[in-house]
Chains A and B, each alone.
Chain A
């Protein structure tokens, strides 16, 4: 069971630097989601893909954020010119159908700290 893998698990960077996170979903899952979670809060939706197509983006996803899923397999989330407010856990999930409902399988997350 390969599960959903995220890399890196932790990233510390200085304000203004660019960072990129990678997500490898469960291979047979077509949908891939990115969420952001700050301390004490639930995950906030950022964007999702159906295969390689990016179907929805949250207003939270400013111009500094870009996500890709070039071949419908792994995905990357890039943050340009990081700000301290970008510090959060970035969660990736892929979805499957269980008992007639779509459910999410999450990776362990990539924690970003912007100094």
Chain B
């Protein structure tokens, strides 16, 4: 059974601070995705990482896939209130036929 853990579960920071959230598993995934979800809405894809060691940047967000393709991190530089939300990581397995989600990191950025 594939399981993903995320840490921290909750994070409350001031605008302008930097933060990193982590996604860990004992399983190897074909790819790993990060989604952001706002209250009452479905998750929205931020990025997909496919190759071990891969780093992708999306404006102030930096995503890294672990060398063994079992873990990932999301780093946000100079957080803004608009970054507030639930950040979910999801691992693709079974040759892309299915996805398992972590429990999420709930981020609150205070102005």
Minimum-distance CB pairs A-B, first 5: A106-B42, A101-B31, A42-B101, A102-B96, A101-B48
Instruction: Report the interface size for chain B: residues with CB under 8 A from the other chain.
Output: 27
Asked whether B79 is an interface residue with its Cβ less than 8 Å from the other chain, the reply is: no
Task: Flag if B42 contacts A91 (CB, 8 Å).
Answer: yes
Asked whether A111 is an interface residue with its Cβ less than 8 Å from the other chain, the reply is: yes
Instruction: Report the interface size for chain A: residues with CB under 8 A from the other chain.
Output: 31
Which chain B residues have a beta carbon within 8 Å of chain A's beta carbons?
4, 6, 30-31, 33, 35, 40-45, 48, 50, 88, 90, 92, 96-104, 106
Interfacial chain A residues near B42, Cβ < 8 Å: 4, 91, 93, 106-109
Closest beta carbon of chain A to B89's beta carbon, Å: 8
Contacts A41-B103, A44-B101, A56-B97: A100 and B45 contacting too (C-beta < 8 A)? no
A-B contact count (CB 8 A): 75
Closest beta carbon of chain B to A24's beta carbon, Å: 13
Interfacial chain A residues near B101, Cβ < 8 Å: 35, 42-45
Interfacial chain B residues near A107, Cβ < 8 Å: 42
- Identify the closest chain B residue to A55 (Cβ): B97
Which chain A residues have a beta carbon within 8 Å of chain B's beta carbons?
4, 31, 33, 35, 40-45, 48, 50, 55-56, 91, 93, 95, 97-109, 111
